[in-house]
Amino acid sequence: MSDKVQDKLLILKEEYESEVSRYQDYISFYEKAAQRVVEFMTLFQGVYFAVISFSDLKKLQGALDLPRVFMVVFLLPLVFLFLSMSAAIYMMVMTKGRPDPTDSPSSVEERKEKLKKWEDWCARKHNALRFSYIFMGAAFLFLFIAMGVYLVCLPGVE
Would you kindly state where each structural domain of the chain is located, as residue ranges? 3-152
Cα gap 14→27, rounded to integer Å? 20
Distance CA 107, CA 132 (A): 38
**pTM for the model:** 0.78
% the chain with pLDDT above 90: 23
Mean pLDDT of 122-136: 93
Q: Which amino acid would we find at residue 22?
A: R
Instruction: Determine the Cα–Cα distance for residues 94 and 119; give it in Å rounded to an integer.
Output: 15
pLDDT interval class at 61 (50, 70, 90): low
Q: What is the pLDDT of residue 86?
A: 92
Chain segment 81-101, per-residue pLDDT in tens: 999 999 999 998 887 777 777
Are the C-beta atoms of 122 and 23 separated by less than 8 Å? yes
pLDDT grade, residue 64 (50/70/90)? low
